[in-house]
Structure 1
Amino acid sequence: MKVVAVSSDRTHDLRRRVLRAGEANPTLDWPGDHEPTTTHFAAIADGNVIGVSTWLLVDGRVQLRGMATDPDEAGRGVGSALLEAGIEHARRIGATDVWANARVTALGFYRKHGFVISGPEFVTGATGLPHRLATFDLA
């Protein structure tokens, strides 16, 4: 498996299947996807995209969003590899921290990778699922 920067359209299949499953016509091209300060990463194995994440630099901070792993690849380090690549990218561009609206079901994963979970639980309109703020300090 290798993690590489990709165009936003390479994220769409997993965004649809994993993050927007059940939606009839989900919007897969998200605000900020085409900004020059946005980077999309894909984990590739045997020519197939098995994981994706999107990293947006805004006001010195990087927002992680659209993190998804092919369900057949869960538990095999795909998400960890994407986080490592994204955090290294955030450091390289001089960000102060990384933050994400993390699904409650993924909080253990983020904690395991050094993220601090804070704030109250909230539901996003896009997913209807509970989330909390996850932050990783790059200092």
Structure 2
Amino acid sequence: MINIKKISAEDTYAIRLEVLRENIPLPYKFNGDFDENTFHLGAFSNNKLIAVSSFMSMSKTEFKGLQYQLRGMATLQSFHGKGAGKLMVKKAVELLKANSIDVLWCNAREVAVPFYLKQGFTVVGELFDIEFVGPHYVMKKELK
């Protein structure tokens, strides 16, 4: 069974580094990690942290209303496909709706687009490249 809990920014770092930044010269500590409105979720299996995600109050001019950005979603390789990401998105949506947030958006790696589509996100705009990381799409989920 996988449990989702709020965690600290520091708790996200090891998995971010291993999954998102391995051999990539970009920071695994994000601007906004410690902002008052930022929260981080962790997925635990048998009390082991197996996946992390961060949610930051961040607006894009293309979207209306109150917005949050999902950043740093990462699951340890041996736990891919077990539902941790889905459960973290579900929990975040509950928390964001309770705070009257209108839109959750992210910059999704091209390979993660099918995952986000299954969670109710839609692709917005064209494919773009993030140096050292690769092709991404902006994706959003309307919460109202």
**What SS is found at the alignment partner of 2:124?**
strand
Match of 1:131 in 2: 136
Query: Does structure 2 conserve the Cα–Cα contact (< 8 Å) formed by 1:121 and 1:130?
Result: yes
One-letter identity of the residue aligned with 1:3: I
Alignment of 1:99-118 (within 5 A): 99-118=105-124
Say whether residues 1:34 and 2:34 are aligned partners. Answer: yes
C-alpha deviation, 1:128, in angstroms: 2.8
Say whether residues 1:86 and 2:86 are aligned partners. Answer: no
CA RMSD of aligned residues (A): 1.3
One-letter identity of the residue aligned with 1:100: C
C-alpha deviation, 1:113, in angstroms: 1.1
C-alpha distance after superposition, 1:4-51 (max 9, x if no partner):
11110100111011101113x652221000001000000011221101
TM norm structure 2: 0.90
> Structure 2: any 5+ residue segments left out of the alignment?
60-65
**What SS is found at the alignment partner of 2:107?**
strand
**What SS is found at the alignment partner of 1:83?**
helix
After the TM superposition, which parts of structure 1 deviate over 6 Å for at least 4 consecutive aligned residues? none
**What SS is found at the alignment partner of 1:95?**
coil
One-letter identity of the residue aligned with 1:135: K
Say whether residues 1:14 and 2:15 are aligned partners. Answer: yes
**What SS is found at the alignment partner of 1:22?**
coil
TM norm structure 1: 0.93
Match of 2:62 in 1: none
Query: Does structure 2 conserve the Cα–Cα contact (< 8 Å) formed by 1:57 and 1:95?
Result: no
> Structure 1: any 5+ residue segments left out of the alignment?
none
Identical positions, percent: 29
